[in-house]
A and B are shown apart, each in its own frame.
Chain A
């Protein structure tokens, strides 16, 4: 069964500090991995996509990594801001029989305090 596990479940940091969120997956065959940011009361928004051949990708202060061998990804947030307070969701896609049904992790809730 395809699964995506995220850790930690929640995280509290001070503004300006860095943090790293983890995602482990057992989705097969692997197509791609996305990180989404979900602000309170809003729908998730895609931050970055990682494909099999990519190890690192940055989007401003967000840097995602992928280790396809160990089936792990991380999202590193640099110099956190209050607006980074949100839930971060790891989503992994497989392509069984040509269909596209991504598997969602349960998310990491990040709170940035001033």
Chain B
């Protein structure tokens, strides 16, 4: 039972490089989310997808794009990485409203 799987686990980028963070869930959940976690800031929502085919901005969307590829997969893209995007990124999913969030184990991204 894999749950929510994120790849890669670690990544180092230079300023201006691009990359895509991958997320897949095997729980048949409708909704998927991308968060970033910074020291002292807690988890902040970047983008979410309430259902397949829809995406919406969260609290901190600038510098990111997302794709809900199908019901299982939700990717996060950094087009031109900046040092301010150094963070731990978590993907999460749930059945929908009032259901618990299930998180992956994060991607630790450093932008130099």
Contact = CB atoms under 8 A, between A and B. Distances in A.
Interface residues of A, number: 24
B67 interface: no
Contacts, number: 49
8 contacts: A31-B97, A31-B98, A41-B105, A41-B106, A44-B43, A44-B90, A44-B101, A104-B43
Given A99-B50, A100-B50, A43 B4 contact: yes
Contact of B43 (A42, A45, A89, A93): A89
Interface string A39-61: 00111111001000000000000
Contacts of A106: 40-42
Interface string B91-102: 010001110110
A85 to B, nearest CB: 17
Interface string A6-39: 0000000000000000000000000110101000
A31 B100 CA distance: 13
Interface of A: 31-32, 34, 36, 41-46, 49, 89, 91, 93, 95, 98-102, 104-107
Size range of the chain B interface in the assembly: 20 to 34
A102 B100 CA distance: 10
Interface string B8-36: 00000000000000000000000100000
Given A32-B98, A89-B43, A101 B48 contact: yes
Nearest to A9: B40
A46 B42 CA distance: 16
Interface in B62-112: 90, 92, 96-98, 100-101, 103-106
Interface string B34-64: 0000001111110010100000001000000
